[in-house]
Structure 1
Protein backbone atom coordinates (compact mmCIF):
# COMPACT_ATOMS: atom_id res chain seq x y z
CA UNK A 1 0.00 0.00 0.00
CA UNK A 2 1.43 3.37 -0.99
CA UNK A 3 1.39 6.33 1.36
CA UNK A 4 -0.28 9.24 -0.47
CA UNK A 5 1.63 11.81 1.59
CA UNK A 6 4.95 10.42 0.29
CA UNK A 7 4.54 10.01 -3.47
CA UNK A 8 7.45 8.54 -5.47
CA UNK A 9 9.97 11.14 -6.61
CA UNK A 10 11.30 10.94 -10.15
CA UNK A 11 15.08 10.94 -10.37
CA UNK A 12 16.93 13.21 -12.74
CA UNK A 13 17.92 11.33 -15.88
CA UNK A 14 21.57 10.81 -16.69
CA UNK A 15 22.91 10.86 -20.24
CA UNK A 16 21.12 8.28 -22.36
CA UNK A 17 18.63 7.18 -19.68
CA UNK A 18 15.07 7.99 -18.79
CA UNK A 19 13.82 9.08 -15.33
CA UNK A 20 13.24 6.24 -12.86
CA UNK A 21 10.93 5.83 -9.90
CA UNK A 22 12.28 4.26 -6.69
CA UNK A 23 11.89 0.48 -6.75
CA UNK A 24 10.20 -1.54 -4.01
CA UNK A 25 11.36 0.22 -0.84
CA UNK A 26 8.64 0.39 1.80
CA UNK A 27 8.44 3.72 3.62
CA UNK A 28 7.44 3.77 7.29
CA UNK A 29 6.88 6.90 9.31
CA UNK A 30 8.95 6.83 12.52
CA UNK A 31 5.94 8.02 14.53
CA UNK A 32 4.12 4.86 13.44
CA UNK A 33 7.00 2.72 14.73
CA UNK A 34 7.76 4.57 17.96
CA UNK A 35 4.38 5.97 19.02
CA UNK A 36 4.98 7.84 22.30
CA UNK A 37 8.21 5.91 23.03
CA UNK A 38 11.75 6.95 22.13
CA UNK A 39 13.13 3.41 21.80
CA UNK A 40 12.01 0.19 20.12
CA UNK A 41 13.53 -3.30 19.94
CA UNK A 42 13.94 -4.97 16.55
CA UNK A 43 14.53 -8.73 16.44
CA UNK A 44 16.66 -9.79 13.46
CA UNK A 45 17.91 -13.35 12.95
CA UNK A 46 17.62 -14.10 16.65
CA UNK A 47 19.47 -10.97 17.79
CA UNK A 48 17.95 -7.89 19.42
CA UNK A 49 18.72 -4.42 18.14
CA UNK A 50 17.61 -1.19 19.78
CA UNK A 51 16.53 1.74 17.63
CA UNK A 52 16.24 4.96 19.58
CA UNK A 53 15.54 8.61 18.98
CA UNK A 54 18.20 10.89 20.48
CA UNK A 55 17.50 14.20 22.19
CA UNK A 56 18.51 15.85 18.89
CA UNK A 57 15.90 13.86 16.95
CA UNK A 58 18.40 11.53 15.24
CA UNK A 59 18.08 7.74 15.04
CA UNK A 60 20.69 5.38 16.51
CA UNK A 61 20.66 1.60 16.00
CA UNK A 62 22.69 -0.53 18.45
CA UNK A 63 23.05 -4.26 19.01
Structure 2
Protein backbone atom coordinates (compact mmCIF):
# COMPACT_ATOMS: atom_id res chain seq x y z
CA UNK A 1 0.00 0.00 0.00
CA UNK A 2 1.25 3.48 -0.82
CA UNK A 3 0.75 6.49 1.44
CA UNK A 4 1.07 10.16 0.73
CA UNK A 5 0.85 13.17 3.06
CA UNK A 6 -1.10 16.10 1.64
CA UNK A 7 -2.02 19.56 2.99
CA UNK A 8 -5.70 20.09 3.79
CA UNK A 9 -7.57 22.07 1.11
CA UNK A 10 -8.69 24.72 3.66
CA UNK A 11 -5.14 26.07 3.83
CA UNK A 12 -4.80 24.65 7.34
CA UNK A 13 -1.19 23.88 8.19
CA UNK A 14 -2.27 20.41 9.35
CA UNK A 15 -1.53 17.47 7.15
CA UNK A 16 -3.65 14.44 6.35
CA UNK A 17 -2.47 11.01 5.21
CA UNK A 18 -4.06 9.45 2.15
CA UNK A 19 -3.74 5.71 1.62
CA UNK A 20 -3.81 4.45 -1.95
CA UNK A 21 -4.35 0.77 -2.75
CA UNK A 22 -1.77 -0.93 -4.93
CA UNK A 23 -2.73 -1.56 -8.52
CA UNK A 24 -4.09 -5.06 -9.08
CA UNK A 25 -2.25 -6.90 -11.85
CA UNK A 26 -4.31 -7.75 -14.90
CA UNK A 27 -5.63 -11.28 -15.17
CA UNK A 28 -3.84 -13.56 -17.60
CA UNK A 29 -6.03 -15.29 -20.14
CA UNK A 30 -5.12 -18.25 -22.33
CA UNK A 31 -7.03 -19.93 -25.12
CA UNK A 32 -7.37 -23.64 -24.30
CA UNK A 33 -5.96 -24.51 -27.73
CA UNK A 34 -2.77 -22.71 -26.72
CA UNK A 35 -2.51 -24.77 -23.53
CA UNK A 36 -3.44 -28.15 -25.00
CA UNK A 37 -2.22 -28.03 -28.59
CA UNK A 38 -2.88 -31.57 -29.89
CA UNK A 39 -2.91 -33.13 -26.39
CA UNK A 40 -5.97 -34.07 -24.35
CA UNK A 41 -4.22 -33.44 -21.03
CA UNK A 42 -1.73 -30.99 -19.52
CA UNK A 43 0.02 -31.17 -16.17
CA UNK A 44 0.29 -28.08 -13.97
CA UNK A 45 2.62 -27.75 -10.99
CA UNK A 46 1.23 -25.44 -8.29
CA UNK A 47 3.24 -24.93 -5.07
CA UNK A 48 4.95 -28.28 -5.53
CA UNK A 49 1.70 -30.18 -6.20
CA UNK A 50 0.94 -31.66 -9.61
CA UNK A 51 -2.50 -31.22 -11.15
CA UNK A 52 -3.94 -32.69 -14.35
CA UNK A 53 -6.17 -30.61 -16.59
CA UNK A 54 -7.89 -32.68 -19.24
CA UNK A 55 -10.48 -32.19 -21.95
CA UNK A 56 -13.48 -34.47 -22.24
CA UNK A 57 -15.00 -35.60 -25.54
CA UNK A 58 -17.77 -33.05 -24.92
CA UNK A 59 -15.33 -30.17 -24.66
CA UNK A 60 -15.52 -29.84 -20.85
CA UNK A 61 -12.44 -29.35 -18.65
CA UNK A 62 -11.64 -31.46 -15.60
CA UNK A 63 -8.94 -30.48 -13.08
CA UNK A 64 -7.73 -33.22 -10.72
CA UNK A 65 -4.94 -33.45 -8.18
- The TM-score with structure 2 as length reference comes to 0.60
Residues 25-61 of structure 1, C-alpha deviation per residue, up to 9 Å, x if partnerless?
Answer: 1110000000000100000111100000011100000
Q: Structure 2: where are the runs of 5+ without partners?
A: 1-24
Secondary structure at the counterpart of residue 36 of structure 1? coil
Unaligned runs of 5+ in 1: 1-22
Q: How does 1:1-63 map to 2 (within 5 A)?
A: 24-63=26-65
Deviation at 1:24, TM superposition (A): 1.1
Q: Please state which structure has a larger fraction of its residues in strand.
A: 2
4+ runs deviating over 6 angstroms? none
Normalising by structure 1, what TM-score? 0.62
Query: Matches of 1:26 and 1:40 in 2, distance apart?
Result: 18
Pairs aligned (count): 41
